[in-house]
Amino acid sequence: MRLGERIWHALDSRLNLQPLVQFAKEKSVPRHRHDWMYYFGGLTLFFFGVQVITGILLLLYYRPTAEAAFESVQFIMSRVPFGWLIRSIHSWSANLMIAAAFVHMFTVFFSGAYVKPRELTWWTGAALLLLALGFGFSGYLLPWNELAFFATRVGTDMVSKVPLVGDWLLKVLRGGEDVTGATLTRFFGIHVAILPMLTSLLILLHLALIQRQGMHEPQEKPPLPPRPFFPNFVLRELMVWLVGLAALAALAAFFPWELGKKADPFAPAPAGIKPEWYFLFMFETLKLLPAKIFGLDGEVVGLAAFTAGGLFWFLAPLWDRKRARGEKSLFALLVGWGVLLYILSFTALSYLGVFQ
Amino acid sequence: MTRLLSLAALACAALALAAPPPRTVGAPGKPAQDQCTLCHRELEEARLRQPALLAAEDVHHRQGITCAGCHGGDPAATEPEVAMDPSKGFVGKIPPQKVPEVCAACHSDTSFMLRYDPNIPTDQLAQYRTSKHGLGLAKGDQRVATCASCHGAHGILPASDARSPVYPSRIVETCARCHADRSLMAQYGIPGNEIEDYQQSVHYQALTVKNDLSAPTCNDCHGAHGATPPGVSSVSNVCGTCHLTQREAFDLSPHKDAFATMEQPACEACHSNHKVVPPQDQWIGVEEGQVCGTCHSAGDPGAEAAEKIRHALLETVQRSEAVRQRVERAEQRGMLMDEALVKLEEAHQALVLARNDVHTVDPARVQARTEEAQMVLAKAEADAAAAEEELAFRHRGLKVSLLVILLAVVALGLKIRELEKQS
């Protein structure tokens, strides 16, 4: 008996793994014309895994204080063997993870996969996207460079617009009146402890729900035969992950993530301060709003509208009755395209400098 | 008779320079209590009310010296006739020619001034008498500045108070009250553009933009109480008070004797007097707009030396700028360039010393400094090149990895295709 088989038998005799293998052999996933859409959830998970590994490696050298943060990242990029690679991959993977999560969310929305019985999967997914944005926002400040510092100052300032508790929330978030070393330490704690813990729990729940309920089956006429989970789907997923890895390597090679200048809280804010791309549509919209709308602060109205819009999107399984009955919903389709076009156009126009 | 007159004059002078009578002066550190301010602040005529209102801030009044300390009279009397009785020494408005003596009555009295500050100077009157202002006043010119012209008459603030007209950053506007008046200055043979020129100078910039209170203003070169233009021979001494190393270098140069012979003011010949703008390396030379051309012309040894000096400086500056850009670019791309930045700073220091040695007008000395800078710059450049090579290596490595990953993707794709064909 070969060594591999012997190990398998030893494990199987103790853990009774045969039913699991049988389960994997029998498991299948649905197929349809656009089944590329199935891979973006897995791809998001892959990038999250990359973030966890590279994040842990960065933690070995990173120092979360205003005095040492920038220098420690500089040290990682210059003196630590392959530190530059780890940091560049961490930065790019963060962006790709959020991009993959957005694509995943829209594919789920357009395929109507969120309706009963998968409401909880949709809601946990939406919460995971919010956590991913939280990761992006808190991680952006950590290198303590000029752009990150001022973008965080602008970003956290939005919180102060929340009626009644805005000022208190701002102080809690910043750890004081302004963005300082206290903010950095706070963001670090959120980035490496609170968010990973919540995200891991929610991912487990999200995956458990998918496993329990199976993937959403689209209405195909004529129906396509399902695809075996193992090895066909797994190998396809692996290929997508490799493409993700190739995208990471390409971005790190052709657009190495730069460090910029160290933040100087006393320097004037440089021109053209912008948040990360995934916040741009909100940032530009708030900038376009007039100072006063119906006698209320324009930004407050804008933030209230975003909150209401986000809640409406989140509650899609409750208002989309047509899809729940298995019918086509023109309203849901219009909402989906409207939101997608709005986000894409505002982000693109911001990069083209139309709003300046 | 002559003897008697002389004795009377001496007595008067002694009286004029004597400290005020004790009844007009309270304890130091305690604000003066007098009837003068109580009545005058209620008067309707602004000219008479204003001094009483200013008294609360006045440095003298706050130190217990009443109005009578300067104006005479009885500060405790409630009746105007008694308070302002000429027999009690009341003099009312003090004429300009008397102002220096009135102030000096206390300010030249060392033992009196000791009560307020053990280190306070008491030679202001002596200095004033040597100044252009003091000499003019002695000749009966009442338009010249006296103590009150600069310090104010009432509400006098210490010079250390930022609101005082003699606070460093405000001195220029105080002097400008007269010296920017071209028609008034023309009567004294002064062009009247001095203030305008000074306001374009590096000194004024340092004082007003950088808030560097040690930067020179009018009184730092001309003197405060003994204000007078520095003579041609003393210009380098005046500038050298702060610019020590430049002065030492200049003293080593052949210009020192040549300028003295030609009666040219030293520093001013190239840097101007009031309009001292930041010096440029391009100034060196005999072409149009270059300062050496004032005395030298193309082909003479001075012009050749200037050419060598300018070339050495500009070459070093250019290289320094190019290396700095490479180092900063590498740093922005995430490389740790601390050592290269230290070397750039060293090169900058050597360049500063080279510019200082320009005052020796010795090309060999300047070139020795610039070569030192070039050597350090070469090391910083090597650091930048190494960082760039490391970045390029990373770039190549990632491209190779990308290729390997893409090959794996293709292989996996083929495998999947084969698998699905079979099933």
Kindly state the helix (H) or strand (E) to which residue A296 belongs, with its residue range: strand A296-297
* pLDDT on residue B420: 83
Residue percentage of chain B with pLDDT more than 70: 93
pLDDT tens column, B147-184: 999 999 999 999 999 999 999 999 999 999 999 999 99
Residue holding tokens 């617009």?
Answer: A161
* pLDDT on residue A180: 93
CA distance B40 to B313: 67
* pLDDT on residue B22: 67
DSSP B248-275: HHHHHSTHHHHHHHHT--HHHHHH-SS-
In this structure, are strands A227-228 and A292-293 parallel, antiparallel, or unpaired? unpaired
Q: Which amino acid is at B395?
A: H
Cα dist from B375 to A253, B45, B134, B362, B371, whole Å:
34, 75, 57, 21, 6
A242 closest CB neighbour out of B334, B335, B409:
B409
CA distance B295 to B250: 17
Q: Is the CB of B415 less than 8 angstroms away from the CB of A235?
A: yes
State the average pLDDT for chain A.
92
Q: What is the mean pLDDT of residues A138-155?
A: 93
Asked which of A7-16, A51-60, B111-120 is least confident by mean pLDDT, the reply is: B111-120
How many helices (H) and strands (E) would you count in chain A? 16, 4
**How is domain A37-216+234-261 classified at the architecture level of CATH?**
Up-down Bundle (1.20)
Backbone angles phi, psi at B374, to 5 degrees: -65, -35
Extents of the domains making up chain B: 13-156, 158-229, 232-278, 301-394
Beta-bridged to residue A293, according to DSSP, are A296
Q: Which residues of A touch B399 (CB under 8 A)?
A: 253
Q: Which two tokens stand for residue B250?
A: 């200049």
Which chain A residue has the Cα nearest residue B415?
A: A235
Q: Is the CB of A228 less than 8 angstroms away from the CB of B398?
A: no
* pLDDT on residue A259: 87
Provide the phi-psi class of A307: left if phi over 0, else alpha when psi is between -120 and 50, else beta: alpha
* pLDDT on residue B15: 42
Residue percentage of chain A with pLDDT more than 70: 99
Per-residue confidence band for B18, with pLDDT thresholds at 50, 70 and 90: low
Per-residue confidence band for B16, with pLDDT thresholds at 50, 70 and 90: very low
pLDDT tens column, A160-179: 888 889 899 999 999 999 99
B409 closest CB neighbour out of A77, A246, A257:
A246
State the average pLDDT for chain B.
89
Which chain B residue has the Cα nearest residue A233?
A: B416
CA distance B58 to B70: 13
Residue holding tokens 């493409």?
Answer: A243
Given a cut of 80, is residue A222 above it in pLDDT?
no
Higher-pLDDT residue of A161, B248? B248
CA quadruple A152, A155, A160, A162: dihedral, nearest 10: -150
pTM of the model: 0.65
Q: What is the mean pLDDT of residues B41-70?
A: 91
Nearest to B73 by CA among B90, B48, B87, B61: B90
Extents of the domains making up chain A: 37-216+234-261, 281-356
* pLDDT on residue B30: 84
Residue percentage of chain B with pLDDT more than 90: 67
Q: Is the CB of B395 less than 8 angstroms away from the CB of A256?
A: yes
Q: Is the CB of A239 less than 8 angstroms away from the CB of B412?
A: yes
Nearest to A115 by CA among A309, A318, A330, A310: A318
Supply the angle between the helices A330-351 and A298-314 in degrees, to the nearest 10: 140
pLDDT tens column, B269-324: 899 889 999 999 999 999 988 999 989 999 999 999 999 999 999 999 999 999 99
Backbone angles phi, psi at B68, to 5 degrees: -65, -20
Q: How near does any CA of chain A get to the CA of B326, in Å?
A: 14
Per-residue confidence band for A197, with pLDDT thresholds at 50, 70 and 90: very high
CA distance B265 to B242: 17
Q: How near does any CA of chain B get to the CA of A239, in Å?
A: 6
- A100, A43 in Cβ contact below 8 A? yes
Burial label, A31 (beta-carbon count in 10 A; 0-12, 13-18, 19+): middle
Q: Is the CB of B336 less than 8 angstroms away from the CB of A77?
A: yes
Nearest to A35 by CA among A237, A265, A256: A237
Given a cut of 90, is residue B215 above it in pLDDT?
yes
Given a cut of 50, is residue B145 above it in pLDDT?
yes
- For B117, which DSSP code? -
Q: Which residues of B touch A252 (CB under 8 A)?
A: 398
Residues 6+ apart with CB under 8 A from B410: none
Q: How many CB atoms lie within 10 A of CB A37?
A: 19
* pLDDT on residue B7: 45
Nearest to A78 by CA among B208, B302, B8, B332: B332
Nearest to B63 by CA among B20, B104, B4: B20
In 3-state terms, what secondary structure has residue A170?
A: helix
pLDDT tens column, B333-363: 878 888 999 999 999 999 999 999 999 999 9
CA distance B328 to B101: 63
Q: Which residues of B touch A226 (CB under 8 A)?
A: none
A78 closest CB neighbour out of B332, B336, B412:
B336
B402 closest CB neighbour out of A232, A250, A257:
A250
Given a cut of 90, is residue A324 above it in pLDDT?
no
Q: How near does any CA of chain A get to the CA of B407, in Å?
A: 10
Q: What is the mean pLDDT of residues B255-261?
A: 89
Nearest to A346 by CA among A289, A298, A270, A271: A289
Q: Which residues of A touch B386 (CB under 8 A)?
A: none
Q: Which of A70-79, A187-196, A209-218 has the highest mean pLDDT?
A: A187-196
Q: Which residues of A touch B420 (CB under 8 A)?
A: 232
Nearest to A350 by CA among A270, A299, A269, A285: A285
* pLDDT on residue A209: 96
